[in-house]
Amino acid sequence: MATHRRSLEEVCDLIGGSHSIRDLSQKLQFYDQWAPRYDQDVDVLEYRAPRLAVGHLAAAWSSPPEEALILDVACGTGLVAAELRRHGFCQIHGMDGSAGMLERARQQGLYRWLGLCTLGQESLPVPSDQYDAVTIVGALSEGQVPCSALPELLRVTKPGPTPPTCATRRIWKKPWRPWSGPGGGSGCWSSPWSGGKGPPPPRKSSPAPQARAEEATASSPA
């Protein structure tokens, strides 16, 4: 029996409702339950942040991508890993706080290793200077993965000239008003950041459309 495809309004209401969940165990339970329909729901949102963020990272990459070891934090069901594979990155590790999301990611067969970790509540269970690059897409926001976790992401990346981190952050606005920009789509936009051992640059008030990454939802919405 086919699963009912939610409308844009229904998906936005679903994610908006999760914003009121403050208890960590209840929030993780929400994602565990959402995992089977996550990909379908974000497709309704025309969610493009994984494609744009990985494209930004790939454009900055100077060495053979198949040799790089990548960590995908807040990996969800594997949307970022799918984009990484398309760009030739094949050594990918993933971490997420939701066991349900990790199970869906495991079924995709895109990761060489998956680990359960709630970043912001605990440290990443990996040694320092372990990864050539780290991605976190759509998960940096209040009530989700705090920006204070950025030093932990940088800790596990190898030092070097290649930008090791690609991060995007999500901003929700209420009431829900689909925003149509270049190429269509809905939600809000923020700039992908690919940077070295230091904080991301200040966000400009009006970034150029071609530099924006759409973030309508994420693997761990606030």
- Pairwise CA distance, residues 118 & 62, whole Å: 31
In single-letter form, the type of residue at position 140 comes to: L
How crowded is residue 147: how many other Cβ atoms within 10 Å of its Cβ? 14
CB 8 within 8 A of CB 44: yes
pLDDT of res. 218: 34
pLDDT of res. 141: 76
- Domains of the chain by start residue, with CATH: 8-215 (3.40.50.150)
The strand order across the sheet containing 91-96 reads 113-116, 91-96, 69-73, 133-140, 165-169, 193-195
- Pairwise CA distance, residues 13 & 198, whole Å: 36
Give the contacts of 112 (CB within 8 A, at least 6 positions apart): 91, 92, 93
pLDDT of res. 208: 32
- Prediction pTM value: 0.76
Residues of the chain with pLDDT under 70: 1-2, 161-222
